[in-house]
Chains A and B, each alone.
Chain A
Amino acid sequence: MTQSHRIDGGQIDRTKTLRFTFDGLPYLGHPGDTLASALLANGVRLMGRSFKYHRPRGPISAGSEEPNAIVELRSGGRQEPNTRATVAELYDGLTANSQNRWPSLRFDAMGINDKLSTFFAAGFYYKTFMWPKSFWEKLYEPIIRRAAGLGSVTREEDPDEYDKGFLHCDLLIIGAGPTGLMAALTAGRAGKRVILADEDFRMGGRLNAETFTIGNDQGANWAAASVAELSSMPNVRLMTRTTVVGAFDHGIYSAVERVSDHLPAPAAGKPRQVLWRIYAGRAILAGGATERPIAFENNDRPGIMMAGALRAYANRWGVKVGERVAVFTNNDDGLRTAKDLQSKGVDVVAVIDSREGGELLPGIRHLQGAEVIDSSGKLGLSSITVRQTNGRSETISVNVLGVSGGWNPNVNIHSHHRSRPVYDPNIAAFVPGKDGPPGLLVAGSAAGQMSTHAALRTGRDVAIAALELNSAPDLPQAEDAPIRISPLWYVHHGKGRAWVDQQNDVTVKDVKLAKQENFTSVEHMKRYTTLGMATDQGKTSNVIGLAIMAELTGRSIPETGTTIYRPPYTPVAMGALAGRSRGREFKPFRLTPSHHWAKEQGAIFVEVGNWLRTQWVPKAGETEWRQSVDREVLATRKSVGICDVTTLGKIDIQGTDAGAFLDKVYANTFSTLAVGKCRYGLMLREDGIVFDDGTTARMGENEYVMTTTTANAVIVFRHLEFCRQCLWPEMDVQLISTTEAWAQFSVAGPNARNLLRKIVDQDISDAAFPYMGAGNITVGGLRARLFRISFSGELAYEIAVPTRYGDALLREMLAKGAEFDPILYGTEALGVMRIEKGHVAGGELNGQSPALNMGLGKMVSKKKDSIGMVLSQREGLTIEAGYRLVGVKPVDPKGKLTAGSHFLEKGAAPVAANDGGWLTSKVYSPHLGCDIALGYLKGGDRKIGQKMRIVNLLAGLDTEVEIISPHMFDPEGERLRG
């Protein structure tokens, strides 16, 4: 294909040619092109079908405000729907497809919607698909969604990576047009740390699209020279392809940098995009302005574009969109398009100027007081109908129409904290209001300062004000044309459809309907018609919509007001929001000291928070997890088992008030604990509910080591710090976590002591190291700690060494204790043994249960004050018929139990009123030869020995059970004291 619509000039590199395809057809373009400019250069202006009516559409803009030229880029896992051709940077090999059409863009069967448009007016769905109710989810919604104009999502995984990062600066400048560049020069020359971000791949903003001069040079050249100067400053960071998408609290802005979107694929290891969080001392919004259309009948045909966009395509990209051009304008800026195109040799057939009087353009048919009332052309514009001031209509053959309804300052980011823009009648547009984000100033056309001179001047002055600078650089000469505009929002003519929001297919009629149905507030109009709710956020449509509503209701535009803008400024890929947090990188892992040994053994791991704990360690021949777990339990109870308990929280508590501090945070007493002993402790919340449990050892007069559950390690530490710093700052207590500093193993079973005797240097006989003893010992001279505590109910110790020696200690215990057949058991076997013993854990520590319910009521000392003590005595928490922890086993040993099942009396109907409580934890006990469980049963302590039912309607379970003591194995505790 030839680039039939290329003309001279522009900022494209004609020495290089890029190949790309659109809907499978090959085309050529140049570096510097966007997909839209390259397609237009190839004479392609039909680029999509509209959302609802499947109308043929082409681009109307040359920027990120584009509502029509929405395409799918790339293929496979990189396929990205709903992207704007006007900002997609061309690269060699780019593949793009139109969307929302079938079977083809030129012939779209869904175009039938356009013929049936009467039925699809605003509010149509709400009124039509009301009955029957159940049909909405199953029938109506799927059909409507399929017909609606969004691209398709690839089912493949995104192969690219996304980064996040943090930047800091004195001044963030959003937009690198003349305003932003002048602000950056001012701040940069003053030595301030500046970030200048622009969504375009070339800085300069409108200077690249205009023929203005700055000083003695072309505006685009001045921009290039300014960028060169800025890039030589080490204190200035220039970020192209970077869209600032949101303003957040405390001077924080988010920005998406498209690092690799202009490449076929990111370079190896490089991210596709980076989501930056920018901390800015001050910020300047220099985001420019967006031209808005004028609504008239059939104003959406390919070839009808913004006048400024026509100029941009001609001046920046060397593209004439068509051969015969007309311009429809209500302001002077539209006339620039006519002049620029004419000077480029394009045939400007007519300028339709809705204003009366004023100077006539020389050499061009300039119709003043005229309006375009209609257009025709099947897949693109072929003619317009013009109504002249004398009322006569005339059809003019053109294939391009540039429309200018005025320029809207891009106030969006200034409104992200709900600042309402205010209407400025001088430019017939909204400008930033008060109460914008603190520290954010606005300059240039974003502030309604529309001339190039005003842009440069305000860019400089606002930078000086923002940073309180003392010197002001001289401003170069630039045009300072006044704004001359007579507002015209829509053309009053005919009964056809005049588009307001082209992306969501909202027409003037829809706005009228909203008014008719009394949705006259802008917020209601927006939601009723969906105006401005597409991915373009109504950048070209919002102001016209509300102006039409103002006119219909007889209110002024300020009275009517505007809706508010929210982040993101332009659509953001989900991948950028996720960053690195996907798949295995979703969170960091914590590995136990025994991890490497366990991995060698083929252990199965379970995620416990970020920890990977050994769940069980299969042996050869074991085909099912229960075989491994049963073996680990039996081997431990028979001889000795080792479990890595490093994950339990360990908190070092020191200070002369350490004991008194523990008395306050624990329900039971610790100040009386002898040095060299440990004790089980119960921690309550302020409301009297059990918070956490664990053992705490007194290692010295003023030194304790607390253990917490794995799950609560961090929150208990945080709680203790709160108590120390805020509740009792007068106490002499110092805290620090030592969870990771020590590798700690439980060694349990009848041969636990025999094994450890081969490891530790000290006498650990029952007399020398009795039950609940604790102390510093040595292992081959290495400092270590030993605690005689048991979770399994066996004779058990916990031994700890500095973490780097943990792996070696485990291997040493397994090797030196080989005669006792030691095994390493995982969390499943641990669970079986603790349930056999009736020890509470996660299922019982459910954040709803007081100690009394767990059978631990006596642990809450009344002799002292402690957190939660008073509220644990509340009437409702102490009633005798309250939930109590019980053990449960099926009457028939083959009977099944499941956690979460409910207790019911025999013969009682399975309804909530008869609910007796629930099973909190369930395992299979290889010792008892049946399922066993713990549960909370109403009045359970008085029901030991009774027969009840365990019912689980979801699992289809109804099992007769016996209520037994929760201490189901070795209830006398003879083994652990052995």
Chain B
Amino acid sequence: MKEEKHVKRPPRGPMAPLQKAKNFKSSILRLLKELKPYKFLITLSMILAIAGAALSIMAPNRLADLTDEISKGLIVNTKNLEKLTKDITSSLSNNDRLNAILDIQLNEKTSFTIMASSSITPEDKEEFNKFLNEIQTSKQEDFVKNLTNLPTSVLEVLLQDSIYQDVAITAQDKIAFLKVSQNIEAHKEIDIPINIEKVLFSEITLDKVQITSQDQAKFLELMSKVGEDQTQLYKQLDKAPKHIKQVIEPKMNMKAIKTIGIILIAMYLSSALFTYIEQISMTDVSNKFAKSLRTRISNKINRLPLKYFDRHSTGDILSRVTNDVDMIAMNMNQSLATLVSALTLFLGTIIMMFYTNWIMAITAILSSFLGFLFMSQVLGRSQKYFSARQEELGNLNGHIEEIYSGLNVVKAYNGSKEADRKFDEYNKKVYEANRKSQFLSGLMMPMMGFIGNLGYVAVCIVGAVLTMKNQISFGVIVAFITYVRLFTSPLSQIAQAMTAMQSTAAASERVFAFIDEEEMNNEKNIIKSLSRSKVKGNIEFKNVVFKYDGNDKPTIKNFSAVAHAGEKIAIVGPTGAGKTTMVNLLMKFYEIDSGDILIDGISTKELTRENVHDLFTMVLQDTWVFDGTVKENIIYNRQSISDEEVKEVCKTVGLDHFIKTLPKGYNSKIVDNDTISAGQKQLLTIARGMLEDTPFLILDEATSNVDTRTEELVQKAMDKLTEGRTSFIIAHRLSTIKNADLILVMKDGNIIETGSHEELMAKNGFYADLYNSQFEI
């Protein structure tokens, strides 16, 4: 199973604890300054974001227009309906025409006939008499009405077949008509005899549509069936003759609807296009910016003095390259445009709402704010649970890490009971924190939904009231329903974007702090240089004093020594004595405080670092191999090395056999911790160093990870290597440096003894003590 390599990433999303910048304003300003090269694309994106937001505000109004147009097609043309009804009913009450049509034979002759008729009952005759009396007293208009009250037998005499406007009208028709006309008042069914219809209604022209008398009669008939019920009316109207329907049916302006539809499609399409262009340009900007930041950080690493790395951990710098840069890129990509468009939306919606209707606007804003107040209360309280969860989880993870990595000790000391107890305790705490924080973070969505619904209902109710008072049209309600939605979403977006800005500021603060770190001093005006082939190999330390930053006492105090060409110098001493410091000074990794180090009489201060490095070969204790093949690791950055040379050097250090057993030989990939042991890695770095042909050699505990038998082998190879070169050797095992020309014994940062092995043994000081302790029990 493969080792998992993972850089710890801070949690994101609602549960992440907020990271804050120390100085928000200056960090953001700095970030903006750095973004200058991308000015054009960012401006474009921002304009598009605003345009997109503006479109999403405008679209609801068009949608409202559409709804209005559609709802125009719902209600009958009341004006025409009223006019028609009036016209028709007035035809009915036109007394002159009625009289002419009915042609009532009320005279002496008919009166006599009635009174004399034996077929007419006395009661009917009585009625007739009453009628005669009434018409004398009552008004002319009531004549027809009074007439209708007469018994049929009487009417049969009074009304005779006649011809009106070339239409023959029978007495029967006339009687039927009279009966029916009574029904008009009583809202009963009306069925006017056809011949009378023809003459009773004159043709009406309404909105250029001719309505025949038959249609009118039919309409009258339908209307007579309508009661109080509104829906009844519509049902009957549906049965109305074509021409009548034409004038009273609701008209939908299909042309207008089509136009609005096309406008909306155009708006939606352009809004989508704007969003897309905005997004890809921001993606472009943020990724390119992230790339440049990463490059700058990586470049910066090479220009920082080593002392910087004494104070900062690898993990810290790594997290700047990945997490912080990622954070900046992600937030720029998402939050910047979101913030701009959300703000536009927010302000635009408010303006549009007030512009459309201020009462509705206040309703919408108030109801949303009410909801948000509630939500911010809940969320404000939950923040502490989120950080608690993070903290408890951190404790638990720490415990798990500890127990797993020390499992052998836990087992051997029967520590699992205690480990379990602690685990249960942490686990329980995480459980409690989890329950609460998961619950609270789960509340966000339903609460947002509720706020939306609250706004919706509020807008509907207030809108309904206003509609009924005829202050607004229905379309306004539809528009406001959208406004409420448009209004609530940017609020949470703005809140999110603000937190994102906070973490961006914090991240960019860290990134730029690194980029702004003081670099190693400039070496442009150094003109001297030493070439490898011309260097003889003498090194002189002249009163060297060196103090690490932050230390009180100097690590190297007034150190002087001379190493002649080809000599082997050993540096020994207990751990932490400052042996590696000597190497650091020689390699010019650190600047010495006073004194001088001279190479062939030339001060290293007068040489570039690159020049000094070029003269030295260095093999260190911590084996550094990189992701690549064996060959690549040995050749490293040098181009002129042949495969033969690589093989040769591997044979010398005894790696050849091992490499040949690897599946791809020299082209096998070196995967960390897997195929290759620490000792083998060390041999590899020795091989890498051996290929360098330099006048100076530094071996800093170069064989500490190799077992003693292999070490001996390597030692022989290295002795060959050190021939004719000035070499500095730091070693733990004193047996390896016994033959050195000069041994420097260090303790607590001081060089306390110098001399050859024999001299130092004779002195019987610290070195002798150290040496002898190897053989004690």
Check if A and B associate: no
Which residues of A are interface residues toward B (Cβ below 8 A)? none
Interface residues of B (CB under 8 A from A): none
